[in-house]
DNA sequence: ATTAGCACTCGACTCGAAGGAGTGCTAACA
DNA sequence: TGTTAGCACTCCTTCGAGTCGAGTGCTAAT
């Protein structure tokens, strides 16, 4: 598994060129373009070695070489030089993400958008999953004589509500009482901790059972909590794949776009990395999905405080500008975390 | 512009067949498949006439004929036989749309989804535009000592809220007072009628100016109202176009998908028909958009009470199963209107 | 160990011939 | 006069042969 310095330099040259041109790379063009001080014949021999070791592949006998998944993996882990974002790129990321944003999911939408724009690949994202966040407050507010609005407030400005019709008019005091009890029982717990059936009983006994009224209200609370995590998936720049010659084949383009439409597959791919730190790279077949085995998926997570709440990523051909994508993603991730925390501070410092 | 009965029958046969096969239709195949009691030579002559009149086109001299936009238009207006939905289709539409739905826009999302599934074309939709709906209630609710939640309630269970930090603690009574004044000034007006700057002044004078507090609250109200109409566009089944041979050309497929990504174009296309009754059909170049001049757009509107609030449609090749699409759309539209009114009744009878 | 040289491979492209679907026209027919 | 059979013609599509060129692997010389 050890590659001497010369092999590494040649492999790097081949992958860099292939990422650039999407054409199989021949020994002569490497000898010409890169100042390695070697003849094409020597390079040819080295390339044959690299192929035998599994880092390169040959589409057919008389063609140049292209990197294999293993080649890309080695490139990403050891060879690749990181690029810096240009100032224009940094500015456009800031502009996209520092707009006045109210809803957390809106922030992720923006992040996804700008990421596909900058990388020119397809971006994926799941909005924050808030199961692990704590419930801040519950309120029951009268709206019309026979309608009340149930409001559930979670972290970071996330609010859900549900209108509910009640069978008979109740006094504001009664509602305040209900609100207080609900607050006491519910707030401070994470959403996934909440043992709702148990709580319902407790509340009933505290308020003095009048389930005719309480029933619909408690149902609404449950409904609100359910609404918090609609496991939606965001994609942007799906048609970017048409820019890449490896998808000039209609069948491949179609397969790719079809996978993007399978929200649950994307969801799983993005959820994969919740426990891992930093940026996660799945090259080619590493994710094991037949339909996109010629794609690379690069993902990362974002957090609220210390808790990972969601994930964003990009998907594109294995021949991808890895370093560009990684540096954009690092920056965008940092920005997301910043902005989330700003939101929390503002709304609940 | 008059077509005798025989020409009509031949035109109909050609268009029916072409919709079926996507291949230019020759005189012989018409003579064989349809029992018109005519020889291919006669049909050939009629076809030459129909071409000269503009109803048919010939891709090249020795090919069969295909319908022109004008041909499709005549077909849609006069020849087409309506098909009924199958019971399975009706059931699957019902299943999709009668699920417990809370948010109005969710209903439209479902409708769009089922429409693309049944027609196998691409569906488009704009969620309800509520500018014309009336504001029902405004409430300001304390959440934490220095935070209040501003809630704006519109029709049909649509609620928007905004958390706002206030500079110093205020008494619940003060908030109730503010709520009452806001309610009095705002409720009952349609959103587009609201002259917000003027109202802000009025409220300030009523409550007794304390703009340090009122400012953020009023801003929040404005923010909520703005949020009501996010002119989002929903599309479903975009990759369905890959099923149609006219899009086997990569460039065309790409162009089509790119247009779908241009949310404002789609929005305009859908907004086009707000004043028209029933189902609206734009064939080929009739919509004047170069990029999708080989597509037909079929749209209709849906209403809340008597007021048109949104629009849904499908887009696909001009060679489209018009009758199928029209009958599905009629049914789905009816369902949307029903469900909207159910929602209104439930939440604000 | 490196390199020059050379025969060989194989995809991409071009060209032309063959095949076939469909037409328009003419002449015959009812 | 309207309909039909027949036929020459057009033009797309398909297929195979031939050519070109980039690139390889191997051998022998340095």
DSSP B284-341: GGGG--GGGTTEEEEEEEEEETTEEEEEEEEEEESS--HHHHHHHHHHHHHHHHHHHH
Q: What is the arrangement of strands in the sheet containing A279-283, beginning at the earlier edge strand? A: A234-236, A122-126, A307-317, A295-304, A279-283
- The protein residue nearest C1 (Cα–C1') is A42
Asked if residue B37 keeps its beta carbon closer than 7 A to nucleic acid strand D, the reply is yes
Asked if residue A65 keeps its beta carbon closer than 7 A to nucleic acid strand D, the reply is yes
Residues B268 and B317 grouped into a single domain: yes
Q: pLDDT (tens digit, 9 = 90+) per residue, B84-139?
A: 999 999 999 999 998 767 678 889 999 999 999 999 999 999 988 777 777 888 88
Residues B117 and B172 grouped into a single domain: no
Q: What Cα–Cα distance (Å) separates residue B33 from each residue in B10, B37, B58? A: 11, 11, 20
pLDDT of residue B318: 97
Q: CATH no. for residue A271?
A: 3.30.450.40
Chain C positions with a protein C-beta closer than 7 Å:
2-5, 8-11, 20-26
On chain A, the residues whose CB falls within 8 A of the CB of B347 are 147, 163, 165
Q: pLDDT (tens digit, 9 = 90+) per residue, A40-53?
A: 999 999 999 999 99
Residues B293 and B343 grouped into a single domain: yes
Contact at CB, A149 and B144, closer than 8 angstroms: no
Whether residue B348 lies within 8 A of chain A, CB to CB, comes out as yes
Q: pLDDT (tens digit, 9 = 90+) per residue, A274-321?
A: 878 899 999 999 988 999 999 999 999 999 888 888 999 999 999 999
Residues B248 and B332 grouped into a single domain: yes
Torsion on CA atoms B220, B223, B224, B230, rounded to nearest 10: -170
Answer yes or no: are the C-beta atoms of A295 and A315 closer than 8 Å.
yes
Q: CATH no. for residue A24?
A: 1.10.10.10
**Other CB atoms within 10 A of residue B232 CB:** 13
Q: CATH no. for residue A187?
A: 3.30.390
Residues B288 and B323 grouped into a single domain: yes
Residues A74 and A94 grouped into a single domain: no
pLDDT of residue B189: 78
Among the candidates A212, A228, A244, a domain finishes at: A228
Per-residue burial over B73-89, b if 16 or more Cβ lie within 10 Å, else e, is bbbbeebbeeeebeeeb
B111, two tokens = 């409708």
Q: pLDDT (tens digit, 9 = 90+) per residue, B318-328?
A: 999 999 999 99
How far is B225 from B183, CA to CA, in rounded Å? 14
- List chain A residues with pLDDT less than 70: 1, 100, 102, 156-157, 195-196, 206-212, 230, 345-349
- List chain B residues with pLDDT less than 50: 349
Most distant CA atoms of chain B, gap in Å: 92
pLDDT of residue B280: 95
Cα angle for residues B264, B268, B269 (degrees, 5° grid): 115
Place of tokens 């496991």: A231
Answer yes or no: are the C-beta atoms of A304 and A340 closer than 8 Å.
yes
Answer yes or no: are the C-beta atoms of B294 and B317 closer than 8 Å.
yes
Residues A124 and A235 grouped into a single domain: yes
Residues A307 and A250 grouped into a single domain: yes
Residues B163 and B238 grouped into a single domain: no
B346, two tokens = 């439930």
pLDDT of residue B315: 98
A70, two tokens = 């293993």
Whether residue A85 lies within 8 A of chain B, CB to CB, comes out as no
Pairing of strands A295-304, A279-283: antiparallel
Residues B162 and B287 grouped into a single domain: no
Asked if residue B63 keeps its beta carbon closer than 7 A to nucleic acid strand C, the reply is yes
Q: Structural domain tally of chain A?
A: 3
Answer yes or no: are the C-beta atoms of A294 and A68 closer than 8 Å.
no
On chain A, the residues whose CB falls within 8 A of the CB of B248 are 250
Residues A236 and A116 grouped into a single domain: yes
Among the candidates B171, B197, B228, a domain finishes at: B228
Q: What Cα–Cα distance (Å) separates residue B348 from each residue in A150, B183, B306? A: 15, 17, 16
Whole domain around residue A186: which residue ranges? Answer: 137-228
Distance, CA of A71 to C1' of D30, in Å: 34
How far is B56 from B90, CA to CA, in rounded Å? 35
Distance, CA of B28 to C1' of C19, in Å: 19
pLDDT of residue A192: 76
Exposure on the CB side of residue A104, measured as CA atoms within 13 A: 29
Residues A331 and A239 grouped into a single domain: yes
Torsion on CA atoms B8, B10, B16, B21, rounded to nearest 10: -150
Among the candidates B228, B243, B269, a domain finishes at: B228
Per-residue burial over B30-42, b if 16 or more Cβ lie within 10 Å, else e, is bbeebeeebeeee
Answer yes or no: are the C-beta atoms of B187 and B138 closer than 8 Å.
yes
pLDDT of residue B208: 64
Contact at CB, B161 and A143, closer than 8 angstroms: no
Distance from the Cα of A303 to chain B's closest Cα (Å) equals 21
Contact at CB, B139 and A141, closer than 8 angstroms: yes
Place of tokens 């002119």: B231
Contact at CB, A102 and B223, closer than 8 angstroms: yes
């Amino acid at each position: 598994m050890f590659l001497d310095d010369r092999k590494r330099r040649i492999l790097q040259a081949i992958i860099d060129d292939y990422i650039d041109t999407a054409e199989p790379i021949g020994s002569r063009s490497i000898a010409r373009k890169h100042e390695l001080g070697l003849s094409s014949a020597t390079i040819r021999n080295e390339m044959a070695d690299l192929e035998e070791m599994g880092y390169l592949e040959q589409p057919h006998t008389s063609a140049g070489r292209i990197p294999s998944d293993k080649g890309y993996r080695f490139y990403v882990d050891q060879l690749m030089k990181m690029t810096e974002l240009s100032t224009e790129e940094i500015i456009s990321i800031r502009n996209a993400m520092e707009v006045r944003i109210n809803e957390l999911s809106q922030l992720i939408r923006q992040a996804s958008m700008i990421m596909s724009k900058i990388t020119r690949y397809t971006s994926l994202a799941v909005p924050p999953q808030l199961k692990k966040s704590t419930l801040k407050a519950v309120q029951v507010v009268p709206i019309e004589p026979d309608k009340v609005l149930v409001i559930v407030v979670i972290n970071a400005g996330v609010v859900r509500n549900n209108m509910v019709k009640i069978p008979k008019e109740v006094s504001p005091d009664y509602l305040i009482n209900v609100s207080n009890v609900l607050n006491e029982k519910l707030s401070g717990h994470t959403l996934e901790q909440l043992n709702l059936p148990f709580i319902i009983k407790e509340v009933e006994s505290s308020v003095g059972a009048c389930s005719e009224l309480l029933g619909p209200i408690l149902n609404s609370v449950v409904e609100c909590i359910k609404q918090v995590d609609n496991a939606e998936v965001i994609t942007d720049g799906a048609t970017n794949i048409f820019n890449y010659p490896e998808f000039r084949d209609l069948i491949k383009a179609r397969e790719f776009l079809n996978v993007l439409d399978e929200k649950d597959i994307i969801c799983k791919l993005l959820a994969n990395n919740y426990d891992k730190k930093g940026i996660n790279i799945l090259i080619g077949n590493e994710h094991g999905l037949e339909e996109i085995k010629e794609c690379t998926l690069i993902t990362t997570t974002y957090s609220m405080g210390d808790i990972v709440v969601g994930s964003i990523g990009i998907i594109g051909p294995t021949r991808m500008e890895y370093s560009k994508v990684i540096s954009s993603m690092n920056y965008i991730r940092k920005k997301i975390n910043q902005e989330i925390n700003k939101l929390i501070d503002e709304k609940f410092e």
